[in-house]
Amino acid sequence: MNAAHQNSTPSELDLLATLRDQYEAKGFTFEVAPDRAATPEFLGTYVPDAIARNGNENVAIEVRQRRSRANDLTLQQIRARFEGHSDWTFVVAYLADDPSRITSLPAASKAEILRQLDVVRLLEDQAHHEAAFVMGWSLLEATLLNIEDDPRARPRMPGSVVQSLAMLGYIKPQLEEKLRPLIMLRNRVVHGDLRAAPTPDQVAVVLSAVEEALSDE
């Protein structure tokens, strides 16, 4: 994918945003579309789609749409360049065949989002923190859809939602910094980690982000 990162699809950008969240949660720095001058000489003309670094541990990441025989042959050639360089790992990330990636999402009105926000607050008042937390993230994405008002909008990864709202100026940098560490917690709750327990303060951060974004809408 690296030849023209500026032409990356929303799915590719969502995957990179998710990978950023995962690596940064582990203490790595994460750089998308690194400058060729910043890559090691042994890679030659190859430039990864992203590089994650943590001390002497370096990860070169290649994003591919799907597996194919031609792709596998190319990847073998790239992987061979990393031989003898134990401080580097080559990782290939494939886009999931997820039906949600081809489903358009209608934008909800501001009034509808505010009504659902009241429902979420009621859940929180009744100590249903997990449900309120997950629904809060849903409302955050609904708020972005409302702002963008794109009839062709597709589902987003939570990291992409936060990044887009911050880049558009709908949430302040301080609030973005509070949201990002909560993405992993959100994923744990959604994917069945029954020991993941959002606190009332963490729920409040997500709901405040919805309010802040809507206040500028």
pLDDT at 171: 94
| Half-sphere exposure for 11 (CA within 13 Å, toward CB) | 17
Q: What pLDDT, on a 0 to 100 scale, did the predictor assign at position 24? A: 87
Whats the size of the chain, residue-wise? 217
Model pLDDT, residue 100: 47
Mean pLDDT by 10 residues, the chain (217 residues): 51 82 87 90 93 93 76 84 92 65 70 94 94 95 88 78 90 93 92 91 97 86
Domain range summary for the chain, segments of one domain joined by +: 2-94, 110-215
DSSP-assigned beta bridge partners for residue 88:
58
State residue 167's pLDDT score.
85
> CA quadruple 23, 6, 177, 114: dihedral positive or negative?
negative
pLDDT, position 1: 53
pTM given for the model: 0.57
Please report where in the chains the tokens 């911050």 appear, as a residue: 166
3-state class percentages of the chain: helix first, strand second, coil last, to nearest 5: 55, 10, 30
Provide the pLDDT for residue 155.
Answer: 77
Q: How far apart are the first and last CA of the chain?
A: 34
Is the separation of the CB atoms in 137 and 186 below 8 Å? yes
- 2-94 is classed in which CATH architecture? 3-Layer(aba) Sandwich (3.40)
